[in-house]
Amino acid sequence: MTQGTNDTAGRTAGRPPTLWDRTRQLAAQEILDTALRLFAQQGYDETTVAQVAREAGVSQRTLFRYFGTKEDLVGGSQERFVALLTQAVRDQPLDTDVWGALRAAFEASLSLHASPEQALERLRLVHRTDSLRAAYLGKRVRCQEELLPLLEARAPSPDTEGALRTRAVVATAFAVLDAAMAAWVEGDGRGDILDLYDQGLAAVRK
């Protein structure tokens, strides 16, 4: 799902979507599809928000109601990303270890994409655009810091050594996810990101 459609879904949880909800979802999807098409054709840095809005048939003000920044059109909302991962960790049984909780969080994060094709287009842009790559890395660091307290509670030892181990596990898991996504992009979307993640993690943990 996209950032715009996810926000709407969050507000409508527990009840069927209304016509207004569906209209918002369609509008957000149209804006996102237009943005990704222009970014792919012209380049992210060369495409302006004004152009995306004009091509999508909306005002810039409307566009920013769905997507807070230009970067959100590719990377999604930081708040939504962190909330999704932290909730996924909280939802895991208490006996799930840090590795397992992180894998569940990564699986949940993939639902932010409407389709594998959209995920591939977004990840291509992130890996090939310096500004987006930098924004992604910053988001990843902030997300790790948000997850650490939840994951430390699952560590077998609450002491300093345990906290260091948890931080190392989190950093390693995110690095392996990055490698899996890069391999998936290089392979033009063949296979499954989580399968690649599992393979990479198995290699690291040998």
160: containing domain: 77-204
Domain boundary among 24, 47, 70: 70
pLDDT over threshold 80, residue 161: no
pLDDT over threshold 70, residue 20: no
pLDDT digits (tens, 9 = 90+) for 96-135: 999 999 999 999 988 877 788 888 999 999 998 998 999 8
pLDDT digits (tens, 9 = 90+) for 39-53: 999 999 999 999 999
Q: What does pLDDT average to over the chain?
A: 86
Burial of residue 70 (number of CB atoms within 10 Å: 0-12, 13-18, 19+): buried
Helix (H, G, I), strand (E, B) or coil at 189: coil
What's the pLDDT band for 170 if we cut at 50, 70, 90?
A: very high
Residues 60 and 91 in one domain: no
Residues 87 and 56 in one domain: no
Rg (C-alpha) for the chain, rounded Å, is 18
Residues 161 and 191 in one domain: yes
What's the pLDDT band for 2 if we cut at 50, 70, 90?
A: very low
Residues 51 and 99 in one domain: no
CATH at residue 147: 1.10.357.10
- Interatomic CA distance for residues 103 and 174, integer angstroms: 10
Dihedral sign of CA atoms 25, 30, 32, 33 in order: positive
Residues 65 and 83 in one domain: no
Residues 100 and 39 in one domain: no
CB 90 within 8 A of CB 154: no
pLDDT over threshold 80, residue 62: yes
Residues 92 and 41 in one domain: no
Residues 14 and 112 in one domain: no
Number of domains in the chain: 2
Start-to-end CA distance of the chain, whole Å, equals 35
